[in-house]
Amino acid sequence: MSKLTFKISVLLAALFVFVACQKEYSTEKGGFSGAAQGELVDSLGNCKTSTIVGTYSVDTPLVTTKNYAVVSVNFTSPGKYKVYSDTVNGMWFIDSGFAISTGTAVIKLKGYGTPILPKTSVFTTYFNNNICGFSVPVSGSGSTGGSGGTGGTGSNGDYFPTTSGSSWVYQYFPKLGIIDTFSVTVAQGLATLDSLDYAKFGTRLLDTFYFAKKSGNYYAYSTIDFDYTFLFDSIPNKFITYPFLKENANVGDTWETPDYGTVKLTSGTSTLYGDAKAVFTIVAKNTVQYTIGGKTYQNVINVKREIMFRPIGGAYSSLLTGNSFYAKNYGLIDQVINTTPTQNVSLFAVPTIK
């Protein structure tokens, strides 16, 4: 079995240019050539006080200019910085930039996501090797959103809603390092790519994914990987367009993506280069209820995705398989990837569909 590395932060795509990069900061100190150094704690090792700004209500999306956490950072060397929180109750906070001098600075961690439950949510903040935190009280009143019932007036009965403002919270199981849950929100506006109008799905790490619908087919402008995963060690510097779900297809129907190459695959001490593609099959359609995130979904399509790899001079063979489950009015509710152990990207709570 090839090495499989899952990452939330795998895709940063502009409208017409894809840049495949991993966020790496130099360990050098000083200037803007490296990462800023500093602490979230005082000289006694106690976390500094954080201030929460804004009101927080169930089903009401956060606004970055109105919902934020003010934290103090003592910078000991200038450079690039990123201070961020984990995802709790559908929300997360983050800020990044440059520290131009040493000393204490006030940082505003902008809030993203949509609160799910009316409770006080306790967040952990991260900066370098420091871990601190703050709490956010959430009230029980808010907009009707779409977190129940038929999925919201904007879903149009879709198996993969793309309406702006819609949001989902997913959970990795088993979790990836410190990453347990993460949120995805549909941004305003569309991007026209390959003659399709794509909605932009953003994660809490500011990554962007593109999905569109046309004539009952749902398209991705992406790599061939499963959503929110990364398989190959390097990939072409471009995305391809392909349908990942066909709501009118029959059980047993199959289709595949165009060839996607050249990719690099590392397995143990071996490194291979070649082409890749994904093959899709409708496994089941609206016949079996599916319970995830505390809710049972009635109309669910089970789509098998098989990632194929063809080394240079060789033939295609199966590299990895998994199943994605799409619920009418709600979108992707579960993704089961057949690794060892099995990796799930599962819906953590009932989503908000606008």
Q: What is the pLDDT of residue 145?
A: 36
Q: How far apart are CA 97 and CA 99, in angstroms?
A: 7
Tell me, what's the pLDDT at 9? 33
DSSP for 88-134, written as a single string: BTTEEEEEEEEE-SSEEEEEEEEEEE---SSSEEEEEEEETTEEEEE
Query: Are 113 and 101 in contact, with CB atoms under 8 Å apart?
Result: no
* CA-to-CA dists, residue 200 to 107, 128, 215, 285, 286, angstroms: 27, 30, 19, 27, 27
pLDDT at 304 (0 to 100): 98
Q: Estimate to the nearest angstrom the gap between the alpha carbon of 248 and the chain centroid.
A: 27
Query: Which CATH number describes the domain made up of 37-137?
Result: 2.60.40
Query: Are 211 and 219 within 8 A, CB to CB?
Result: yes
- Spell out where 268-354 has E strands: 270-285, 290-292, 295-297, 300-311, 317-327, 331-337, 343-347
Q: How many residues does the chain have?
A: 354
| Other CB atoms within 10 Å distance of the CB of residue 211 | 23
| Sequence ranges of the domains in the chain | 37-137, 144-347
- Provide the phi-psi class of 248: left if phi over 0, else alpha when psi is between -120 and 50, else beta: alpha
| Cβ atoms of residues 160 and 198 within 8 Å | no
Cα–Cα distance for residue pair 33/14, rounded to 1 Å: 24
Task: Answer yes or no: are the C-beta atoms of 97 and 105 closer than 8 Å.
Answer: no
Quick one: which of 223, 220, 92 has its CA closest to 167?
Answer: 92
pLDDT tens per residue, the chain (354 residues)?
A: 333 433 333 322 322 222 333 333 333 333 344 788 888 887 777 788 899 999 999 888 899 899 999 999 999 988 888 898 888 888 889 998 888 889 999 999 999 988 888 888 888 888 877 888 899 999 875 543 333 333 443 467 899 999 988 999 998 888 766 677 888 999 888 888 888 999 989 876 667 889 999 999 999 999 999 987 778 888 888 899 999 999 999 999 999 999 998 899 887 788 999 999 999 999 999 998 999 988 899 999 999 999 999 999 999 999 999 999 999 999 999 999 998 889 899 998 889 898
Integer-rounded Cα Rg, in Å, for the chain is 21
CATH topology of domain 144-347: YmcC-like fold (2.40.360)
β partners of residue 52: 69
Instruction: Establish whether domains 37-137 and 144-347 are of one fold.
Output: no
